[in-house]
Amino acid sequence: MGGDRLENKTSVSVASWSSLNARMDNRFATAFVIACVLSLISTIYMAASIGTDFWYEYRSPVQENSSDLNKSIWDEFISDEADEKTYNDALFRYNGTVGLWRRCITIPKNMHWYSSPERTESFDVVTKCVSFTLTEQFMEKFVDPGNHNSGIDLLRTYLWRCQFLLPFVSLGLMCFGALIGLCACICRSLYPTIATGILHLLAGLCTLGSVSCYVAGIELLHQKLELPDNVSGEFGWSFCLACVSAPLQFMASALFIWAAHTNRKEYTLMKAYRVA
């Protein structure tokens, strides 16, 4: 009789432990899947943000359809010697957009041929873009934009460099975290995902830092170069994607760390319970 009772107790304990372990596995697996989905969405948003040219957009009135004037501005805009003031004046005047890699303006399509100088709302326009070279990305910004004798503005210089570099660091951290997460799946263990969570946390901080640097840089630029009358500026959808990506990275980080830490802790408790 005593042996049967002990055997029944053991069977019940094993069954209870197995049921509890299955419930925990389902909970952690759900958290892991949600974190992976959030990570994937934030990666897509961040990549799209880096690759598009709508971090900041200017809205200006329709300009005169003068081929000579437009060609002159375009030549200055694409010139290797174009300084910060030169290309920003073109951005202000011709509905410019700015990304991390390129700057674009919208000009009349037929600027290389003769066209009527009369102002019209209906002439065809085309968007022309120029990529920032690596030299331009790391070029010093001056206290008075365009005036090389005014001294280097260190704050704006490093804000520009950070807004350019940090998104790539963020994207790299997320990709490395995804690789660790894949290894965790292969090993059938959630514990390595702590590293994935930490990397996503760092990626979120980098994204947040990039967005902050961009906002600060734009505000400082507009203090130096005031927008002309009838010209307005606003942050574009590429900037918004980066803003959305940061909280997604933080949420994914929290889920990864919670799942790994709690799973490890409860696995230790269950092991101790099983031994007892």
Per-residue pLDDT of the chain (276 residues; tens, 9 = 90+): 444 444 444 444 444 444 444 454 577 778 888 999 999 999 999 999 999 999 999 998 866 555 556 667 777 777 767 788 888 888 888 889 999 989 998 877 665 444 444 444 455 778 888 888 888 888 888 888 878 888 899 999 999 999 999 999 999 999 998 888 888 777 766 667 888 999 999 999 999 999 999 999 999 999 988 888 888 999 999 999 999 999 999 999 999 888 887 765 544 444 444 444
Give residue 24's Cα distance to chain centre.
34
CB-based burial of residue 274 (10 Å sphere; 0-12 exposed, 13-18 middle, 19+ buried)? exposed
If you ran DSSP here, which 8-state letter would residue 142 be given? B
Q: How many CA atoms lie within 13 A of 211 on its CB side?
A: 22
- In b/e form, how buried is each residue of 155-178, taking b as 16+ CB within 10 angstroms? ebbebbbbbbbbbebbbebbeebb
| Cα–Cα distance list, 150 to 13, 142, 246 (Å) | 79, 6, 37
Domain boundaries, the chain: 26-112+122-270
Structure token pair of residue 1: 């009789």
Amino acid at 18: S
Cα angle value 160/79/234 (rounded, 5°): 45
* pLDDT for position 70: 62
* pLDDT for position 159: 94
3-class DSSP state of 60: coil
Q: How many CA atoms lie within 13 A of 132 on its CB side?
A: 22
Specify whether the CB–CB gap between 243 and 211 falls below 8 A: yes
Which pTM value belongs to this model? Answer: 0.80
Q: What contacts 123, CB < 8 A, 6 or more positions away?
A: 65, 108, 109, 110, 115
Distance (Å, rounded) from C-alpha 167 to C-alpha 57? Answer: 19
Specify whether the CB–CB gap between 63 and 96 falls below 8 A: no
Q: Which helix (H) or strand (E) holds 125?
A: strand 125-131
* pLDDT for position 80: 67
* pLDDT for position 218: 94
Q: What contacts 193, CB < 8 A, 6 or more positions away?
A: 32, 35, 180, 181, 184, 256, 257, 259, 260
Residue pLDDT, tens place only, 78-124:
776 778 888 888 888 888 999 998 999 887 766 544 444 444 445 57
* pLDDT for position 67: 56
* pLDDT for position 264: 57
Distance (Å, rounded) from C-alpha 15 to C-alpha 7? Answer: 12
Structure token pair of residue 252: 């994914």
* pLDDT for position 69: 60
Structure token pair of residue 177: 């975290």
| Cα-Cα end-to-end distance for the chain | 22
* pLDDT for position 186: 77
